[in-house]
Amino acid sequence: MQVESAYVQAKEMYAQWGVDTDAAMAAIRRIPISIHCWQGDDVHGFESGATGAGGGTAVTGSYPGRARTPEELRDDIDMALKQIPGKHKLALHASYAETSGKQVERDSLRPEYFNNWIGWAKESGIGLDFNPTFFSHPRCEDSFTLASADPSTQSFWIEHGKRCREISAHIGKEIGRVCIDNFWMPDGYKDIPADTVAPRQRMIKALDEIFAAPFPKEHTLDALESKLFGLGLESYTVASHEFSLLYASSRNKLYTMDAGHFHPTEVISAKISAIMQFCDQMLLHVSRGVRWDSDHVVLFTDELQDIMQQIVSGGYEKRVHIATDYFDGSINRVAAWVIGTRSVLMALLKALLQPVHKLCALETEGDYTSRLALMEAFKQYPFAAVWDYYCLQESAPVREDWLSKIKRYEKEVLLKRG
């Protein structure tokens, strides 16, 4: 009863400013978050001989209970989803193919290797997104894939990209929800290159070849992700922000912004409304960098709230696809999913509870004093009461009640994995 009574009071307070809390909860139910599968196994995947992240990525920590099989990973994801309100999506990497023990190279992947994931998603009532895996492979040891000067290496990765688009289209068709296929390539140099032009020309040509075949937009959408730098790639990244943004805009692809892929003094909340003037849709990877692209667990930070505020105030809820992307092996991996995804949803709900029209009207009138005063005042409004009620309505744990369930799962399941 405390949750319900607190909600009634909060509803009345928000209503004074024309904010409908019921409508805000209805809106957030229509916005799925694409939750990344790789948090549960430290980006190992299920390829034969897989050893984990590489190619400019790294996972730290050795907390017990890492998923070792597809079944264990799906069990962990199921456990996490029970603690998160709403119905969402799961993002897969190509390296999570299930090949029944056969050695299958990435340029030979086929849709049937993801049938178990498709069946599980259908049963769970969630969607799937996809990512080619251009890292953690012998053929990218020099940190070049699509921009490689070696024709054989480049052809291998071009074929991988083509196969991944076919897989993504198959997933979207089978599930009946669009599957976003996100391309991120680590190509670059550790030290200062003599030629920054040729690698980008090679990557453009390779991407054009990969994207040449058309697929129904209701089945799959292509996205291109930028990055400032990676481990061992500190001086030059081929698919930089400018490269990826302009390629996506010129080819009618989604541009992917990752919150950790920019300079530490940059914030992506400042970029969203500018990019959305020129791109029909965008993919957002919510992460948390600490001094670099360290992919820390997402928290309810000011920047996360600003990101969601930009999406809502711009009316981009249907055009910006929100996904999570982080990995921490130093804490309970299932808890990391829950903490991060609930934080994203909290920030989104808080944004939906802002009196955007009133603030915009004050701005148009030139009453910047009232605008600033109300922005500050609404930071103190009882958004948490609405969040608690939303969780209750979605049969998800309220506040920190989920933690005891995860700790019990850890004791009964995770710690027994050795």
What domains can be seen in the chain, in order of their start residue?
A: 31-350 (3.20.20.150)
Q: Which of 173, 261, 321, 350 is catalytic?
A: 261
pLDDT range class, residue 60, cuts 50, 70, 90: confident
Position 235, amino acid: S
Q: Is the dihedral of CA 341, 346, 352, 356 positive or negative?
A: negative
Residue 126 to residue 404: CA distance in whole angstroms: 25
Active site residue 222: no
Active site residue 88: no
In the block, residue with structure tokens 């259908």: 122
pLDDT of residue 294: 87
Active site residue 280: no
Active site residue 293: yes
Parallel, antiparallel or unpaired: strands 320-324 and 33-36: parallel
Q: Which of 253, 285, 321, 350 is catalytic?
A: 285
Residue 293 to residue 297: CA distance in whole angstroms: 12
Active site residue 120: no
In this structure, are residues 129 and 32 in contact, taking their beta carbons and an 8 Å threshold?
no
Residue 415 to residue 332: CA distance in whole angstroms: 10
Q: Which of 174, 187, 325, 388 is catalytic?
A: 325
pLDDT range class, residue 52, cuts 50, 70, 90: low
pLDDT of residue 55: 61
3-class secondary structure, 291: coil
For the entire predicted model, the pTM comes to: 0.96
In this structure, are residues 304 and 286 in contact, taking their beta carbons and an 8 Å threshold?
yes
Q: Which of 42, 129, 174, 295 is catalytic?
A: 295
Average pLDDT over residues 41-63: 78
Of 342, 327, 313, 330, the C-alpha closest to 403 is: 342
In the chain, % helix, strand, coil (3-state, to 5) comes to 50, 10, 40
Q: Which of 117, 184, 337, 387 is catalytic?
A: 184
Average pLDDT over residues 313-322: 97
